[in-house]
Chain A
Amino acid sequence: MFEKYKKLYPTSIQSLIMFASTIVSMTMLVIVGLILYNRFYVIGKQSYIESTNSLVKQTGVNLEDYLYSMREVSDSIYYDVIKDKDLDKENIENDMNLLYEANSSKIVSCALYDSKGQLIMASPNSKEKINIDVESQNWYKEALRETENLHFSTPHIQNLFDDSTNHFKWVISLSRAVEITRGGEPEIGVLLIDIDYSFIDSMVKSVNKSKNGPYIYLCDSKGSFISHPKQIQIEEGFSDENNKAISSLSTGVYKEKFKGENRDLVIYTVSYTGWKMVGVIPNRSFKDGMMNIKLFILMILSLTAFTVLLINRIVSRRISSPILKLDESVKAYEHGRDSKIYIGGSDEIKHLGKSIEKNYEKIELLIKDIKREQDERRKSELEALQSQINPHFLYNTLDSITWMIEGGKNDEAVFMIQCLARLFRISLSKGKTIISIKDEIQHAKSYMNIQKVRYQDAFEMVYEIDEKVLDKCIVKLVMQPILENAIYYGVNAEEEDGIITLRAYEKEGDIYIEIEDNGYGMPESEVEEVLKNENHVPKHGSGVGILNVHNRLKLLFGEEYGLSIKSELDYGTKVTIHIPSILFTEENRKYLEKGDSYERQ
């Protein structure tokens, strides 16, 4: 399932450090952001509720003061003007007017009614409407229902007096039962003060400035509206409010869910009246207010993420850069491009670099030692091979000379000894193993001269030597074993038509020396054995096989060089020496004799 994402996994050390630190940082950032937002939310909401609570309380206290002042006006009229005065004998009109005038900015009218609902006195002087049934009006009924209390009505249109301006007035009626005296007889009356509603309405509206924020409304103890910013919409059914449900709640902070929306309610119960000043905080309004906090936190988080990423990048580069340089230098070392190991960066990386460098130095020393040992081994092998030739050759030659002297062939013996001397001179070559082809051919001629005498000219020797090859390098004594084989296996001593051809030429930068006879030849299976089987030693001759020569050439010049044999039964054999064309100089000789393998230029 996650295979396709595997390629996204960081592979370099810098990416890994960057990836890991970024994941950790981002996770921490998100957690911190969420915690921060949550804290802001809780504190902000608390503060929001507290500020609304303060506003509700302050408005409630202002309203209480206002209503208290209205009660004081009522008390003043009652206790200072009405009480203990016989209304039939004393005129209270001036006193009442005076009190009305003093409070006319808040009061629409004040009036005194008797127990039958008949108007006794009103201020300002107004004409009572005809056919008015005061007894049926709530304020009157309430006053007489609980005579010991003052009663505040809900807002209503005043329906008592004719208004010359032909306008209706919104009032809140403050009514109370009063004891009046008429003709010396006490009776119950009702004192009414109609308070201008606009003052209370504007008091509530003034704190409802926000459109979508929290709002405050005022209702009576039964939940009937006194003032609400959307009162008309609610009455007309375009909006809704949970006002009836809050009538049972006392002062405090509550939560509710209304019409699917969570809201916080702050309720302040206005003293004496039981009215409730309600602050409503819809969750939506708080969330709107939290938008700036959200943006601020998001901006801080983005800024922090930006910085953290940058720091992560710098730190990961600082950590990984020396490692990468070390890695690069090791790779370069491994590919042979550069042998210097990077040493830098922190102490640990420096130490690592130094360790690697030391290890490589040790390895190089070890390799050199091994190579030197290998070279020495190869040289000793070469020398061992060459030392194998000398006894065979000497034995054979001396055998031939002995045979001549015994046969009285002194001139031939002298010739043989001269040839032998020449042979030895070249063989020794002052201890050199690399000689010129000219010397090697001279050596071959001396050898073949000896053999021709020994075999009584039973074969003919043909030389086809390209002059150009004479000054090139060759390992000494490589032709002799081949010629020896050519004589033993290629020439029939009883027949005198044997021909051995020595051919030397250069082709495509290499030297080819062919020794060809027209003797018995070999079957193909035997040809393959000659250059493979170390145990295949010729029955005659020096005892140094062709394989020996083949190995010597390969050892010195490389695997692509050596001998190749072509043979056909009854037609003869051709052995080809394949060596590189290297000019015979002192420098080249020394180089080759050091035992280092030849590398084609």
Chain B
Amino acid sequence: MKDNKLIFVIVELILLFMIFIFSVMLVTDRTSNIKKKVTVIIENQDDEAWRGFIYGLKKAAKDDDVSLDIVSVNSINDENDMESLIENAINSGSEAIITEPTSNSSINEVLRRARTKIPIVLTHSDVKNSDMNIPVVEADCYQMGKKIALEIEADYGKDLSGKKCGLILGKIGTEAADNAKKGFLDEVKKTGLNVKWTINDKSLHDNSLEILKVQSDVDFVVSLSDFGMKKATQSLEEKKLSASYVYGIGCSETVCVALDKELAKCFIAPDEFSIGYRALDMISNKLSGSSEMEDEKVNYKVMRRDNLFDEENQNMFYYLLQ
């Protein structure tokens, strides 16, 4: 009899507890779950070259239900800046960081230390000469550099002896810039192309138009960065650059307009949307424990005036025009 009473009391208590739990679940908003937060640290967010990348990040964040915090700075000058940015991100509750490596090796060392605390994904480039093994989402820069050379060959023939070109390099000190340069030079070295001058990305940032103006005449300019392409085509339009066309790597509406205006002859467009989307998707999967992170290469397209508005290239404008 006593056992029966005990069982009855226990069952009634369990039922009461269940009623309480269900009631609480009914009245509380279950949708207000705490999202995982990922911080993206980039330089010059307002640069339109980031549009596709940021759009990709935002779309992935929405699809994966991740809170995205994009931290933009004018420039990351030293390791203290980067360390401070990472610390702030961690303190604000971020569980992972996406960033682009810089040319400063001591800054990259900060990333090495930070990756022991939270997952980090690099975009657009790996860290030069590094064994950090931080996963990278990027386009194949070597192949893009090489592809530019091949497109020049397609326009001018395989014998480029007697042709002169100016070369604008990518972000100095990054592996992406080195690879793109190497890919281009590897391809053109057998063509006899004379690379008349070379300027780096940083010099262009400091004094873009003036520095281009003083360069010697060339048949065409090759830019291995979007910024370089924009500046070169702008200089060309303003007749401050003595060259016929600009070739290069680009990912902005301005570069597309330049191509449409035939200031640029051809450019290689890395899939910036995919870089952003995959970087965040990868880190989101890592945070949810469903997969490990590995290096990933995204596609690129060869854009010319005659295929710029083709149906298969229209989707690029979805993110370039955001």
Which of B4, B22, B315 sits near A302, CB closer than 8 Å?
B22
Cβ-closest chain B residue relative to A156:
B314
Cα A302 to Cα B17 in complex, Å, equals: 9
Cα A306 to Cα B18 in complex, Å, equals: 10
Which of A232, A235, A299, A302 sits near B55, CB closer than 8 Å?
A232
How far is the CB of A87 from the nearest CB of chain B, in Å? 28
Which of A10, A298, A310 sits near B12, CB closer than 8 Å?
A310
Cα A46 to Cα B8 in complex, Å, equals: 41
Q: Which of A15, A167, A238 has the most CB of B within 10 A?
A: A238
Cα A381 to Cα B256 in complex, Å, equals: 139
In the bound complex, residues from chain B placing their C-beta under 8 Å from that of A155 are 314
Which of B22, B254, B271, B317 sits near A166, CB closer than 8 Å?
B254
Q: Report the count of interface residues on B (CB-CB < 8 A).
A: 40
Cβ-closest chain A residue relative to B23:
A299
Tell whether A231 is near chain B: CB-to-CB under 8 Å: yes
Tell whether A172 is near chain B: CB-to-CB under 8 Å: no
Q: Which of B25, B30, B60, B281 has the most CB of A within 10 A?
A: B25
Cα A167 to Cα B255 in complex, Å, equals: 11
A233 and B257 contacting across the interface, CB-CB below 8 Å: no
A309 and B314 contacting across the interface, CB-CB below 8 Å: no
Cα A309 to Cα B321 in complex, Å, equals: 66
A15 and B4 contacting across the interface, CB-CB below 8 Å: yes
For B54-92 the 0/1 string (1 means CB < 8 A from A) is 010001101101000000000000000000000000000
Given A129-B260, A309-B12, also A156-B59 (CB < 8 A): no
In the bound complex, residues from chain A placing their C-beta under 8 Å from that of B65 are 211
B59 and A232 contacting across the interface, CB-CB below 8 Å: yes
How far is the CB of B1 from the nearest CB of chain A, in Å? 7
Cβ-closest chain A residue relative to B312:
A235
Q: Which of A14, A155, A306 has the most CB of B within 10 A?
A: A306
Stretch at the interface among A288-296, A353-361, A399-407: A288-296
Which of B1, B253, B315 sits near A232, CB closer than 8 Å?
B315
In the bound complex, residues from chain B placing their C-beta under 8 Å from that of A20 are none
Cβ-closest chain A residue relative to B254:
A166
In the bound complex, residues from chain B placing their C-beta under 8 Å from that of A211 are 62, 65
Cα A18 to Cα B281 in complex, Å, equals: 56
A168 and B321 contacting across the interface, CB-CB below 8 Å: yes
B16 and A306 contacting across the interface, CB-CB below 8 Å: yes
Given A170-B321, A235-B315, A236-B274, also A298-B22 (CB < 8 A): yes
In the bound complex, residues from chain A placing their C-beta under 8 Å from that of B257 are 166-168
A309 and B11 contacting across the interface, CB-CB below 8 Å: yes
B30 and A291 contacting across the interface, CB-CB below 8 Å: yes
Tell whether A23 is near chain B: CB-to-CB under 8 Å: no
Which of A168, A239, A296 sits near B256, CB closer than 8 Å?
A168
Cα A525 to Cα B273 in complex, Å, equals: 125
Tell whether A25 is near chain B: CB-to-CB under 8 Å: no
In the bound complex, residues from chain B placing their C-beta under 8 Å from that of A230 are 59, 63
In the A-B complex, list the 7 residue pairs whose CB atoms are closest, starting with the nearest: A299-B22, A235-B315, A306-B15, A302-B18, A159-B309, A166-B257, A232-B318
Q: Chain A residues in contact with chain B, CB under 8 A? A: 10, 12, 14-15, 18, 129, 155-157, 159, 162, 166-168, 170, 211, 230-233, 235-236, 238-239, 291-292, 295-296, 298-299, 302-303, 305-306, 309-310, 313
Please name 30 pairs of A and B residues whose Cβ atoms are closer than 8 Å in the assembled complex, sorted by A. A12-B1, A12-B4, A156-B309, A157-B309, A159-B308, A159-B309, A166-B254, A166-B257, A167-B253, A168-B253, A168-B256, A168-B257, A231-B318, A232-B59, A233-B63, A236-B277, A236-B315, A295-B26, A296-B22, A299-B19, A299-B22, A299-B23, A302-B18, A303-B19, A305-B15, A306-B12, A306-B15, A309-B8, A309-B11, A309-B15
